[in-house]
Amino acid sequence: MRLDEHEPLLSKVSTGEPESHVIDDGLLDPVPSRNIDDDVLPETATYGRNLGWSGAYIVVISRVIGSGIFATPGSITKSVGSIGISLLLWVAGAVLAACGLSISLEYGCMLPRSGGEKVYLEFTYRHPRFLASTMVAVQAVLLGFTASNCIVFGRYTIYASYGHNATDFAQKLVAASLMRVITVIHGSHVKTGIAIQNAFGWVKVFLVISMGFAGLYVILFRPTATDLPASERRAFSWDDLWEGSNWSWGIISTAVFKVSYSYAGLSNVNNVLNEVKDPVRTLKSVGPIALLTACIFYLLVNIAYFAVIPLQEIKDSGELVAALFFDRLFGNSIGKTVLPLAIAVSAAGNVMVVTFASARVNQEIARQGFLPYASLFSSSRPFNTPLGGLIVHYIPSILVITLPPLGDVYAFILDVEGYPGQFFALATTIGLLKLRKSHPDLLRPFKAWLPVVWLRIGVCLALIAAPFVPPKGGKGDASFFYATYAIVGILIILFAVGYWPSQKRNFKGRDKPEKDESEVDVPETAIVMPTKLRFQGVDACLSRSFESQAVLHAIDYYNAMISPDLVPVENPENPYRFSTSDARFLPPTVLYNLFSIVFSHELIRCNGLHSDNGSQSSSVAVYSHRGLTL
């Protein structure tokens, strides 16, 4: 046996963490720990790690490919005026998306747990207390609507049925009906909703791949210039590429928001890392490959648009550029009916995925007390579905679909969705630099290149300021004031800041609850075995202040190798008032193997378990086994 095997894995030597981060009120504080080490350690997957590499890739790429590539090229080209700037923006959008992805990769590899941006902001900005949580909650509720893809669904469905003769009211009616039907499906039959959205997802991926190859075919086998109409003969000459270009920074920034919308979702797998096998390695490869895939096919599809459709028709097409593409490529029968319906199905699939995820987020926000009538919106009754979260998602989505001016709905929605997100992107990026300075010892399997981090900060600042730069002619891509979307976004952020004091008051008193004299002081470094089980099985709850990661790594290893099979108990009760982030659940067989290694017989005495410092309790034990090798 080696010498180091005789030393306690959870030694009493300090890890070097500043004392200000140490909480010595044991496990009696029900709020999450402020110790940074507690969040760095990965959470175990209660339901097992079921997503392999291919599953994680589908989670990302099916979220990235939505209605953007079918609907935004027309409005982008109309704004910037030329083919050259339009194509350049799609490449620039991929570069900017890569910068944002690198930030998400560093955070995700450092904090391999589910939650995404919510976890990162709460982890980085712990003071003022609950401010980051409130900001994320308000953003999720007010800006988490699913309206843009509903509008695309309505427009393509009406186009397939009636062509260009349909009214905007009819398109909005179809869009609102889709939102209502999806809410009913997800609110009543969870498995049915999942099956439908998976089928829609595969249709969407197949459709974009087909369009990409169609674009490649057009590029390689398009007619010679002499065979083309005069209006299309020099469409790709260098001079004509930049003809009519509008280099106004306000216009460019608005177009960047629309392009960014088409690349949104690259960090979607960060939201479900608890269920990903080998999460760090998977995360480092899935995102970049999905970005490269999307960029290549987006460029091919855009080039196909410009090769098939005259430039002026693209500018006038609005959100129907893909329908015009199919019409000119395949004729009236297929181009005006079948393929537009396929795009509508793709948009509907995106709405289903986003609605399902947003409902779960809203339900969790309600459970944390950040919404009024929290007990109502956090309930899963009567169908054991996130019906309350679906209602929270449905109301703003319907309002955004129906209230804005009819002709400018889609462009306004994209701008409002994209603008406030720049503030949160800026906060996470600056927070990354903050963590590097304050906690350089944190394990970072992936580290973003520093110039990329600063580029991301500069771009965020530029995009925040850009909407207030008057565009050429004083008119943006909407009929109303060009900076309206920025003002609305800022008002939402200010509302979140104003809403925060009420949440702080709601949580006041939870910070330092009065200690019951009958409760036992639990050592900071402890494995707690509750006397009353939270699950039908056995669970292991780890304390909040581990000075060594050895036991956590052992438990994570077992969870990765053996999928837990636990059945939740109705109204679970935790005698030690752990927060959910403090619990690590294991099945009985795994506990037997783990605890047979962890607990040596010296710790077991007549009436309880003894710690190294002599304290005794019938429910706690300090791990100090001398012979464990991992």
Residue 619 CB partners (closer than 8 Å, separation 6+) = 520, 528, 529, 530, 531, 608, 609
Residue 85 has pLDDT above 80, yes or no: yes
Report the chain's mean pLDDT, rounded to a whole number. Answer: 67
Residue 521 CB partners (closer than 8 Å, separation 6+) = 26, 615
Residue 553 CB partners (closer than 8 Å, separation 6+) = 630
- The answer to which of 374-378, 500-504, 567-571, 621-625 has the lowest mean pLDDT is 621-625
Q: Pick the more confident residue, 180 or 358.
A: 180
Is residue 390 included in any domain, yes or no?
A: yes
Tens of pLDDT, residue by residue over 297-330, are 888 888 888 888 887 888 777 667 877 887 777 7
Residue 456 has pLDDT above 80, yes or no: yes
SS3 content of the chain, % helix, strand, coil (to 5): 65, 5, 35
Cα separation of 215 and 94, whole Å?
Answer: 19
Per the structure block, which two tokens stand in for 355? 């609605």
For the chain, percent of residues with pLDDT exceeding 90:
5
Q: pLDDT band for position 291 (50/70/90)? A: very high
Give the highest mean pLDDT range of 85-89, 144-148, 255-259, 601-605. 85-89
Continuous H helices in 535-580: 550-561
- Same domain for 24 and 62? no
Cβ-contact 577, 30 below 8 angstroms: yes
Per the structure block, which two tokens stand in for 9? 């894995």
Continuous H helices in 12-124: 36-40, 53-64, 68-80, 83-110, 117-124
Tell me the one-letter amino acid at 625: H
pLDDT of the residue at 506: 61
pLDDT of the residue at 443: 80
Span 198-214, mean pLDDT?
Answer: 78
Cα separation of 76 and 93, whole Å?
Answer: 12
3-class state of residue 585 by DSSP? strand
Span 160-183, mean pLDDT?
Answer: 82
Residue in the structure block whose two tokens are 């399997």: 445
Residue 200 CB partners (closer than 8 Å, separation 6+) = 345, 346, 348, 349, 350, 352
Is residue 155 included in any domain, yes or no?
A: yes
Q: Pick the more confident residue, 50 or 382.
A: 382
- The answer to which of 428-437, 469-478, 480-489 has the lowest mean pLDDT is 469-478
pLDDT of the residue at 459: 84
Q: Which of 502, 537, 567 is the last residue of a domain?
A: 502
Cα separation of 240 and 310, whole Å?
Answer: 12
Q: Which of 474, 502, 530 is the last residue of a domain?
A: 502
pLDDT of the residue at 234: 45
Give Cα 101 distance to the centre of its chain. 12
- Same domain for 531 and 442? no
- Same domain for 21 and 60? no
Tens of pLDDT, residue by residue over 94-131, are 998 998 899 999 998 888 876 678 778 888 888 787 78
Dump the DSSP string for 52-67: -HHHHHHHHHHHH-SS
- Same domain for 449 and 531? no
Is residue 37 included in any domain, yes or no?
A: no
User: Virtual CA dihedral for 518, 521, 527, 531, nearest 10 degrees?
Assistant: 0
Q: Which of 472, 502, 532 is the last residue of a domain?
A: 502
- Same domain for 407 and 296? yes
Is residue 509 included in any domain, yes or no?
A: no
Cβ-contact 183, 150 below 8 angstroms: no
- Same domain for 497 and 587? no
Cα separation of 517 and 275, whole Å?
Answer: 40
Cα separation of 53 and 278, whole Å?
Answer: 9
Tell me the one-letter amino acid at 353: V
Residue 88 CB partners (closer than 8 Å, separation 6+) = none
Cβ-contact 174, 154 below 8 angstroms: yes
Residue 589 has pLDDT above 50, yes or no: no
- Same domain for 489 and 586? no
Residue 227 has pLDDT above 60, yes or no: no
Per the structure block, which two tokens stand in for 403? 């209230």
Residue 62 has pLDDT above 90, yes or no: no
- Same domain for 20 and 114? no
Residue 410 CB partners (closer than 8 Å, separation 6+) = 71, 75, 148, 151, 152, 318, 319
For residue 266, CA distances in Å to 119, 147, 275, 287, 541 come to 17, 20, 17, 6, 33
- Same domain for 454 and 584? no
Q: pLDDT band for position 507 (50/70/90)? A: low
For the chain, percent of residues with pLDDT exceeding 70:
62
- Same domain for 334 and 203? yes
Please state the domain count of the chain: 2
Q: Pick the more confident residue, 59 or 569.
A: 59
Is residue 514 included in any domain, yes or no?
A: no
Q: pLDDT band for position 475 (50/70/90)? A: low
Q: Which residues of 79-105 are buried (b: 16+ CB within 10 A; e: fewer)?
A: bbbbbbbbbbbbebbbebbbbbbbbbb
- Same domain for 236 and 327? yes
pLDDT of the residue at 292: 92
Question: For the whole model, what pTM was predicted?
Answer: 0.64
Cβ-contact 99, 452 below 8 angstroms: yes
Dump the DSSP string for 363-379: HHHHHTT-STTHHHHT-
Q: Pick the more confident residue, 403 or 531.
A: 403
Task: Determine the structural domain holding residue 385 and report its residue range.
Answer: 53-502
Is residue 517 included in any domain, yes or no?
A: no
Q: pLDDT band for position 267 (50/70/90)? A: confident
Q: pLDDT band for position 477 (50/70/90)? A: low
Tens of pLDDT, residue by residue over 386-432, are 788 888 888 888 888 887 765 666 667 667 777 888 888 899 999 99
Is residue 282 included in any domain, yes or no?
A: yes
Is residue 507 included in any domain, yes or no?
A: no
Tell me the one-letter amino acid at 426: L
Q: What CATH number does the domain containing 406 carry?
A: 1.20.1740.10
DSSP single-letter state for residue 273: G
- Same domain for 125 and 258? yes
